[in-house]
Amino acid sequence: MGAKPFFITTAIDYTNAPPHIGHAYEKVLADVVARWHRARGREVFFLTGVDQHGQKVQQSAEKAGIPPAQFAREITAKFKALWAKLGIAYDGWAETTDPRHIRAVQAVLQQLHDQGDLYKAKHSGYYSVRQEQFLTDKERNDAGEFGPEWGEVVHLEEENWYFRLAKYRPWLAEYLAAHPEFVTPSFRGNELANAVAKEAGDLCISRPKSRLGWGIELPFDRDFVTYVWFDALMNYVTFAGYRAEPGAGLPDFEKFWPCDAHVIGKDILIPAHGIYWPIMLKAAGFGTMPKLLVHGWWNLGGAKVSKSSGNVVDPAALADRYGTDALRYYLMRDIATGQDADFNEERLRARYQADLANDLGNLVNRTVSMARRYRGEKLAAGPADRAPDAVALEALGSEAARRFDAAMAKYDVHLALEAAWELVAAANSFVESSAPWKLAKDEAQSARLDEVLAVLVEASRLAAALAHPIIPTSADHLLAQLGFGGCFNAQWQRLAEGHAVGEPTPVFPRLE
C-alpha cells in the first residue's frame, strides 16, 4: 500500500474585503509545500477557499447597497483571480454558501444538539463587531479597556445557543500534552497550551436572525443562524468529503483525513483554530486531529499588513511589476516560517536582480549558450572518472538536494532555498574556475570541456528542479532550455550521452 495522500488546507479567506499580501503569502506557502510533495511522487489534496457568511459581510454589503450574496461573489472573484495570477494550484475550492457545505454543517449541528452539547441561554455582555464574538474581562487590556484590535465594541443582551466548550477543555489539554506535533512551530504549541489552561466558559454558536440574517440556519431553531466561526471551521472537512452525499462531487474523506498541514496565521490560532476547531471535531466524533502549521505576519513599517488598519500591499500589482515567480520567491526567501518579517519592495527588487537574474538565470543562460556554441546539438556525457573539482560540485549538489528536502519536510522553505542557492553559487564559481571558453580553444582539452559542460548542465538542471515548487513557471522554462522539460528529479544524475539542450532565452530579464 502506498503512502497516505498529503492533505493540506489553508485558512479560508473572509469575503468582507479584497485580498492583500498576507493572504498571498499564506496561499503561496501552501502551494509550495503541495508542489514539493507532488514532485516527490506523493498524491496531494490542496484545499482552500472563502468564508462568505457573517456580520461583517452583511454590513459591507449594506454599505455597498447590494445583497450579501452578490457582495460575497464579487470579493470571491477577486480572490480567485489573484490565486490564478500567483499560480496557486489548489485541488479543492470551498465556498461556505455551497449547499453541500450547508447540509453538512446543519447535520453536525443537529448531532451536537441531539447529544446534549448545545443549549439555549440568555447572555448580557460586550460584543466585538469586528471579531463577531462576545468578549470577557480577559480580553481587556491593562487599562481595563477593550483594545483597538477588537474594533467597535457594543453591549448586547440576547438569547443564543451555546456549545459546551468547557466540557471538552480537559480533553484538549491532555491531547496537546500527548501530541506536541499538533502545532508547528513548537513555540506556538506552547502558547496554545497556555491559552487552553486559561480557557473558561462555553462558546456562543448562534446569532438571532433579527440581528443577522446572512448565515446558515440552525436546523432545530429557525430563528437563529450559525456563528460564522462554527460555519467556517467546518469547511476544512466538509469540502474534503465529510458527510457528503453520494454523487456530490467531493473527495473520499477517509482517503485524505487527517489533514497533514492546516496553514493559518498566528492571529487565528487562539482561540478559533487551536481551541474551537479540535473541540468541535472531537464532539462530532472525530478520532484523529489535523496538524496546524502556523505562520507569522508580513508587516509594513513594523505594523501588521491588514485591510482594517489601511496598511496594505497589493500582491497583484507586485506580480505585474516583477513577475509572479519573483514575488513567490521573495515571499518564501525573506521570511522564516512561523516568524514575522517586514515587507520591503527594495528587497524584492534586489532578490530578483541578484538571486534570480544574476545567479540562477545567468547560470542557465550561459551554460546553454556554451553548450550550443562549443558542442552544437549533442553533448557528450564526459569521462567516467571526473576531475576533483567536478566530483566536488557533484557532492555539493547531492548534499544541497538532501538539505533542501530535509528543510521542506519541516516547512522551512527559506532554508531549503538557501541550500539550492549554494548549489547555484558553486556552479557559477565552477564556470569561472574551469573556464570553458579557454578549454574550447585547446583540442587537447576536448574531454575536459565535455566534462565541464555535462557537469554544468546537470548542476543547472538540479538547481532548477529544486526551485520548481517556488518558481514553477520560470523553472519550467529553465528546464526546457536545458533539455529536461518536465524532469523534476531532485537527485544528481549523470548526463546521458547525446543529450541535447534547447535555445537560450533570458527567463529573468533585467529590470529597468
Give the pLDDT of residue 308: 60
In a domain, 17, yes or no: no
Helices 68-85 + 55-64 axis angle, to 10: 100
Distance CA(27)–CA(46), nearest Å, equals 10
In a domain, 472, yes or no: yes
SS3 499: strand
Give the pLDDT of residue 1: 44
In a domain, 413, yes or no: yes
In a domain, 163, yes or no: no
Burial class (CB in 10 A: 0-12, 13-18, 19+), 245: exposed
In a domain, 352, yes or no: yes
Domain ranges, residue 378: 344-481
Using CA atoms, how far residue 465 sits from 40, 226, 471, 480, in Å, is 11, 46, 10, 11
In a domain, 415, yes or no: yes
We report the CATH number of the domain holding residue 439 as 1.10.730.10
Match 539550492 to its residue by C-alpha cell: 420
Task: Give the ranges where 293-361 is alpha helix by DSSP (H).
Answer: 315-322, 324-333, 345-351
- Amino acid making up residue 206: S
pLDDT by 10s per residue, the chain, length 512: 468 999 999 999 999 989 999 999 999 999 999 999 999 999 999 999 999 999 889 999 999 999 999 999 999 999 999 999 999 999 999 999 999 999 999 999 999 999 999 999 998 888 887 777 788 887 899 888 998 888 889 998 889 999 999 999 999 999 999 999 999 999 999 999 999 999 888 999 999 999 899 999 999 999 999 999 899 999 999 999 999 999 999 999 999 999 999 999 999 999 999 999 999 999 999 999 999 999 999 988 777 766 666 667 899 999 999 999 999 999 999 999 999 999 999 999 999 999 999 999 999 999 999 999 999 979 999 999 999 999 999 999 999 999 999 999 999 999 999 999 999 999 999 999 999 999 999 999 999 999 999 999 999 999 999 999 999 999 999 999 999 988 889 999 999 999 999 999 999 998 87
Q: In sequence order, what are the residues at sequence separation of 6 or more whose Cβ sits closer than 8 angstroms to the Cβ of residue 29? A: 263, 295, 331, 332, 337, 411, 413
Report how many domains make up the chain: 1
Rg (CA), the chain: 26
Using CA atoms, how far residue 372 sits from 8, 188, 367, in Å, is 42, 52, 9
Quote the cell numbers at residue 366: 550561459
In a domain, 354, yes or no: yes
In a domain, 69, yes or no: no
